[in-house]
Structures are given as C-alpha cells and as structure tokens.
Amino acid sequence: MSSAALATNDLPDLTRTEGRSLVEYGLVRAHIAAAGVALAISMTAGFLYSLQFLGWFPFADEYLSPGHLRLVHTNLAAYGWLVNGFTAMTYYVIPRLTGQRVWSAKIGWLIFWVWQFILVATVSGFLMNKAQAIEWGETPTGFRPGTFELNWIPVDLLVVIGAVLLIVQLMVPLYRARDQKFYVTLWYFTAGLVWLALTYLMGNVIPEWVLPGAAGAATTGLFIHDLVGLYVTPMGWGLMYFFVPLILQKPIWSHSLSVIGFWALAFFYPLGGVHHFLLSPIPDYVEFGAITTTIAIEVVVTTVVVNFFMTLKGKTSALRDSFAIRWFYVGAVMYFITCLQCSFQVTWTFQKIIHFTDWVVAHAHLIMFGTFTFWLFGTIDWLWPRVTKRKWYSRNLRAWHFWLSTMAIVIMFVDLTIAGLIAGFMQRELNPWNDILDASLPFWWVRTFSGAMMIAGLFCGLYNMYMTCRHGEPYDETESLIPLSAD
C-alpha cells in the first residue's frame, strides 16, 4: 500500500476523545505492514537456507551465504515480525483498555522508522559478517570485539534507544491509568515491556563485555529463554486475553485462572534459562533448577490454554464463522503440544538424544510459528478491516492462508521431530557422520516442501491485505456491533 494511505489518520473512529482519535491507527497500520514485509523476507531467507541442505542453494558468494541467510531468518522473525506485530497490537489495545492515548504520535513515527532502520542495519550487517555471537541476539554490536572501535552501525545501542522510547511511549497511558484496576491483558503488557528492556540489556551486554565462557553461556541461555518467555509469551497471552473475549462477545471464562497464570509466569518462567545448555559445563544444580521450573511452566501454560477453550465453549460456531478464532484455536492446540513436549524434552533423559538435532528446530517452529505467529495472524485478521476501514478483499485467500499455514506447520513439526530422533540415536550409536546426513536428507526435502507451503500461505495473506487496502469495500464499524458479522 502507499505510504500516504498508511499515514492517513483522519478515518472515522468510534472512540474519539477531545476530537482526536484514541488509537493512532496510522501507527497500527504501519507496524502491521512492516511486520508483514519482515516476515516475508524472513521466511524467504529460511526457505533459501533450507535449500543448502538439499544441495540446491542458488548463490555462491560471500554475502548471500547460507549462514548469513539463517541469521536473517531468525532475527527478522523475532525483531522484524514479532516485535513490529506486537507493537502494532499494543498501540491498539493499550489506549482502548486504559482510555488514554499513547505519549506522542510523532515519537511513534520516530520509533517506527528507527526500528525499521535497525532491521536494515542488522540484515546488511549480517551480509557483511558483522553478527554478534549471541543466539537470537546476533544484531551487530557495531564494535570490534573487546574494543570500542566502531566497525558497523551500533545496532545494539539503537535497539536499546528504540526499545526505551517504545516503552516510555506505551507506559505513559499505563501510568496515567495507574488508579484503575487493570484488565489482565495490561498486566502482561506492563510486565512484558519492562522485561523486554531488561532482557535485551542483559543478553547483549553481559556475555559480550562481562562474563566469558560458561557463565556467559548461562547468560545467553537465559537471554534466549527470556526473549521468548518474558516478551513474546506475555505479549501473546495479552493478545489472546484481549481479542478472544472481544471477538466472541463474552467474558473470559476465569479471571482468577488468568491471575494465577500471570504470577506463575512472572515467577517460574525466567528461572528456566539454563535449559538451553543442559549437560554442559554449567554447574549441575543450576541445570536441575532450570529443569524443575521448566516442568512447572507446563502448569502455567495450561492456565492459558484452559481459559481459551473454556471461553470458546458454547460458542464453537465461531470456528466456522471467524478466521480469527480459527487462528487462535489452532495456535492454542499447538501451544499445548509444544509445552507438553517441553516438559519432557527438558529432562536429561531426552536431552541426551534430542539436543543438537532437528527435534529442537521442530519445537522452535511450533512455538514461534504455530502459536505466536498464528495468534498474531488471528489478531491481524480481525483488526485489518477495522484499521483500514475496508472489508477483506477475498474470503478465499484468507482460507488459503489459514489452511496452507496449518498444514505446513503440522508437516514441518512431525517431519523434523522424527528427523531429530533418528539423527539423535544415530549420533549416540556412533554411526559415521556421512550416514547421519544421508538419513536426514529425505526429511530435509519434506521440510523444504512444508516451508514452501508456509510461504505460499503467507503470500496469499499479504496479497489479500494489500488488495483490501486498494480495492476493499468500505467497512463501517457501526454496522458490526457483533464482530463476527465482519466475516
């Protein structure tokens, strides 16, 4: 869509205060659009990377190398897609729940462009060999290792500046509403924003400048875990608790359960970090602590999953009528599978075999794509007509997006899980490495195939969003007090 369409902020709005829109719709639209573009690039990079495993990788130069594309894939998925997507949703949800506008629309646009500049500097930094040796935090420091000489744009520093601005931007309405009792979504958003800043600082500063070696590994393990557990998870849960009752037009099943879930997440989740490096030189008592709390997290996750299904109970026709609820439903099923799997795979018994194999890749895709990306797709499906004031261009394309994505993630998960088990046992049985690669190859073909399905689904969705902006019929929110009729 044109940038002019994105910047237009004078569309009719039901929730105006003092003649101004409560929600900065332009920012919501811009962040969703940027998230979509980032996801398209991320998935394409992941797909090209998977071709290396088949011997079909198309480039042979130093810049577009498979290793670089792997970094582009994961970092754009996290910082391009999820951060932009969640930011869009917080811009929509926080003002609506607090009745307060965000700090400043101008600052909002500054943050938006700073963030997209960060993504460009990160991706180009990767292509120039400037990645930082911290998994999920490869964003370049911009400094030569161990010195303060600049050798690239200091992306880490920009992320801190961008994140602090974003947090102030969104904390202003939360702070102004400090006398209200917060709905549970705002609990997650408040804590999640604080955690994002602390986690990013911890993970990028301590292993790089303070603690080398094994203690640094405990830190990067905690960083990988906290980024998912203390940013993506609370944001995703916040969205679920806001959008699902709104779409279904009924209250959440149990508020107490969501409260238990929140405090259990806050307490247990960050204690599990070391589980990314089990059976390593990190002291065993720390590993046992991480394993125990990780198993406890399964209980925490169950609160959310149960709350979702019980809220849906009695209104399951929504699965037929609303794509948003379908996305949330499949996401919730995947979530339960992932976390159940988590409480087994975290034990030493499983770790012996499955660590270092495709099992973990399957697990990561199931949680990042199958759950949180699905939930974001669900919110976008519901929100896009409301922020663009246009009806969806094509119902068929929405269906294709949903079904291709769902089939793709199921195939990918099953395929890579089996591949991981085979490779894990073959490694233990001391098979030659060449044989392990031979055994994995058919599974890598299926993985690439499922990736292609995923991308095909995404492009259906993105094309549909674009055409909705350009050619969708006008959408009037007043005629859809029951949101399901928008479908």
Partner 1 sequence: MERFPTLFFVAGVGCFAVAFLLSLVLPAMTLGNYHDMEYRTMEQLAAVPSHEFLELERVYPEAFEEAFGAADSASYAEALQLGRDLYVGQACWHCHSQYVREVANEAQRFGAPSRAQEYQNALNQPHLWGTRRVGPDLSREKGVHTNDWHVAHFLSPKNIVPSSVMPSYAYWFEADGTPKRDGFSIITYIQWLGTEEGRGEE
For the segment 54-93, give every residue that binds partner 1 (CB under 8 A).
55, 57, 60-62, 65-68, 70-71
Handedness of CA 6, 183, 199, 160 (dihedral sign): positive
What does the angle CA 371 – CA 375 – CA 377 come to, to the nearest 5 degrees? 120
Is 404 a binding residue for partner 1 by CB under 8 A? The answer is no
Given the complex with partner 1, which of 57 and 403 has the nearer CB atom? 57
Given the complex with partner 1, which of 35 and 426 has the nearer CB atom? 426
Structure tokens at 437: 């690669």
Q: How far is the CB of 36 from partner 1 (least distance, A)?
A: 25
Is 44 a binding residue for partner 1 by CB under 8 A? The answer is no
Is 441 a binding residue for partner 1 by CB under 8 A? The answer is yes
Q: How many CB atoms lie within 10 A of CB 387?
A: 20
Given the complex with partner 1, which of 433 and 479 has the nearer CB atom? 433
Strands 20-21 and 16-17: antiparallel
Q: How far is the CB of 183 from partner 1 (least distance, A)?
A: 8
Rounded CA-CA distance 230/305 in Å is 18
Query: What is the total residue count of the chain?
Result: 487
Is 139 a binding residue for partner 1 by CB under 8 A? The answer is no
Structure tokens at 376: 């974001």
Given the complex with partner 1, which of 14 and 133 has the nearer CB atom? 133
Which residues does 217 contact at the CB level (< 8 Å), separation at least 6? 207, 277, 280, 281, 282
Is 105 a binding residue for partner 1 by CB under 8 A? The answer is no
Is 195 a binding residue for partner 1 by CB under 8 A? The answer is yes
Q: Is 128 exposed, middle or buried (0-12, 13-18, 19+ CB in 10 A)?
A: middle
Given the complex with partner 1, which of 449 and 463 has the nearer CB atom? 449
Is 202 a binding residue for partner 1 by CB under 8 A? The answer is yes
Rounded CA-CA distance 261/259 in Å is 5
Identify the DSSP state of 21: E
Q: Which of 113, 356, 399, 474 binds partner 1 (CB under 8 A)?
A: 356
Using the contact rule CB under 8 A, the part of the chain among 188-196, 368-376, 409-417, 477-485 near partner 1 is: 188-196
At 283, is the secondary structure helix, strand, or coil?
A: coil
Residues 409 to 428 in contact with partner 1, rule: CB under 8 A? 424, 427-428
Q: How far is the CB of 194 from partner 1 (least distance, A)?
A: 3
Q: How far is the CB of 22 from partner 1 (least distance, A)?
A: 19
Using the contact rule CB under 8 A, the part of the chain among 110-118, 205-213, 368-376, 387-395 near partner 1 is: 205-213
Using the contact rule CB under 8 A, the part of the chain among 100-108, 295-303, 436-444, 456-464 near partner 1 is: 436-444
Matching residue, tokens 């405990």? 218
Q: How far is the CB of 80 from partner 1 (least distance, A)?
A: 18
Which residues does 322 contact at the CB level (< 8 Å), separation at least 6? 247, 382, 483, 484, 487
Residues 256 to 315 in contact with partner 1, rule: CB under 8 A? 259, 262-263, 266-267, 270-274, 276-277, 279-283, 285-286, 289-290
At 150, is the secondary structure helix, strand, or coil?
A: strand
Structure tokens at 276: 């990314």
